[in-house]
Amino acid sequence: LACDFVHAIVVCTPNFTHIDILRRAIPTGKHILCEKPLCTTLVDCLEVESMLSFREAQARASGSETGVSMTGMEYRWMPPVSQLIQEIESGEHGAVRVLSLREHRFPFLVKVNNWNRFNRFTC
């Protein structure tokens, strides 16, 4: 993590490991892409938010820049979703209050210890 030639960190590990990795990654100031879910508990998410706020405050105080942190919410860049977002923002559909989407795909494949299913390893 301390290597100068590493500019970004991608967290794409089992969900329950994200917080431990983020605790080490955030202080580096590098760009971070964390696959969803960010964490498996609200307490851990709030800790990440606090660490990122502290990191940004330190960067501002020192006049330096800090990396971008993002959770992998890839749907927003899919063409149909991107178009829908534009239509909603333009007011084409009036004031949208509720939106329901259905995803047509295979269920999640079984992983080691079922870390991607709803159990103690997921949110």
Q: What CATH number labels 8-114?
A: 3.40.50.720
Give the total residue count for the chain.
123
What pLDDT, on the 0 to 100 scale, is given for residue 70? 94
Q: Which pair of tokens denotes residue 34?
A: 């964390």
CA atoms within 13 A on the CB side of 12: 6
The per-residue pLDDT for range 62-74, each reduced to its tens digit, is 999 899 999 998 7
Q: Domain limits of the chain?
A: 8-114
Which pLDDT does position 20 carry in this prediction?
97
On whether the CB atoms of residues 68 and 26 are closer than 8 A, the answer is no
How much is the pLDDT for 119? 65
* pTM score: 0.72
Please list the ranges in the chain whose pLDDT falls under 70: 105-109, 111-112, 114-123
- Give the pLDDT of residue 73: 82
Output the pLDDT for position 74. Answer: 79
Compute CA 25 distance to the chain's CA centroid, rounded to the nearest angstrom. 14
